[in-house]
Chains A and B, each alone.
Chain A
């Protein structure tokens, strides 16, 4: 495996680590694999596009706007769709979350059409580091991804709301007895996760293209990273993202590249069979 492939894997990982962390947090509270994240990421990408290109805001401002907007959308979806369905099984909620992605995707199609778009910033040529090539923008994405990981850790470990989030994720009943308001915690978590999905939309728009399916295409690698790292563990999500990135790069050495999209699935399947709690997760009794 060449140095370039390792760089490639790191950039992939930086792109999917933040949403994998967010997915993991969301899972901890809502307890089902939320396919709506594809729709949320797409919303983030188009929100940033609208602010950046037609409205002419600089990209960092547009990104902040997109994060706010996506946070509102995620919170809104929670209030309107998921909260009233709390009694439903995880699988029913999973199907509903796919429906939410379909709705968001097609709302975007309704207003923006399926054209491909890009942000209003020039593409960059790479630096050459020991024969591997990496662009300044990719370095920025990696740095941001790490910063987010550290910030999430600080939030979860050293703040009141963070401790409350973990308490609700570990045992909602016990948390309620100890006076933690699950409603506040959930609202806060959905907003944080929404912001992260919005940011992912921006990164994905920079890295790939802005189109209605951009979020859906990232969904399975994100799931793979979160599950690999162990649900509920932000550092695990980062590690998971790096391993998924490496595995995707390595595939092309042994299999035709057309099988690459299956890698995420295979990782999930193999790992879950061997170690269902993920690499850094703690064991949980099945069911």
Chain B
């Protein structure tokens, strides 16, 4: 029994967790000052959120250089990891927060309800996401997951004028609660077998197990439940039911936020847990991931075809992208192959590039959909867009082609990396399934393009693209094209990503 008086807290490197603290401080300032003062003018809420994110990005870049020279390490007695994987994903998350805040500001001004809560919630979800990304402990991971999820439930329901938004929030909350329960039960079973929740220690314990063979049943059930919890969050088939409804019902910028920040956090945490803690059981979970990936790809792409609402289309497309990402995880499960590390890198590159892409896409959808009713986001809203506004149409076309994986866009770089990692370890069948599904999914993007370029607009009225949205969409476009033409930029950064923090 620990006596409270002799308890010594772990040493904390405050600087190493400073991006997280910055975001938290920003959220508190927005909430406190925002509720005590009258309405701030000139988009100051969004700008405050943006400034906070910018500072956090700066700190993360500083830490990146630190890690590059001094190597990865564990923080706070092994609770969090400080490595390139965590930092790169964190930067992607914070950039997404910044861009989405800008888009949201224009959106809320149009709805005449520009209030600080939304931005504060963005920042708190980012805090949760950062914890998830860096967590080296299943319990800490769960704390991050809940912080992120609770903020997202509120965000999904944040449009009080729309019943569909509230429905989305409630649906997300209930199903998300299920997922958390699954995850937590899985953690409990794993702890029961191994006596630890630290990812690094889990691997050590499980490796000694091989020397002393015992019944793995409870452990495998535990791992399976953890996977199910993640599968809900990442929206893998058959746990994807909530995704289209929530994506459609939530305010459009929030949908972009969920598709970028939520996805990065869940995917990176999933990869870290399985690669760091359970490599010894990769034969077991690798097969499950293979099946989940194939199912997700096929269902996501095929069902997307019959949708008529653009947000639902993009929801299914995000499901199909999740399947693609899992192809990389499946590759990483072949740990006896020398190329297994490629899978990890491919997954991270994919999710980071996809985040930029999806923020841009939803940015355009936010601008085009005049309000958040279901009609405004139906495919008809895009009719003749490119004829009225060629530039906006062209930008959306680039995003859609990138999602379809056309060369010279970041989408192709992402897909190429994943397919390469799968082929390198010999998973040809999954690579072929993924590519064929990419073609099926391309049909969906083509349908949107047909509406934009080849159909006539019912109203000649042009949609306004406010300044902050312009910046956000412009940055997303720049990332998409620059990485598309010069993939070396991101490949250079990620070449040492496989060195994960272990002590």
- Asked if A and B are interacting partners, one says no
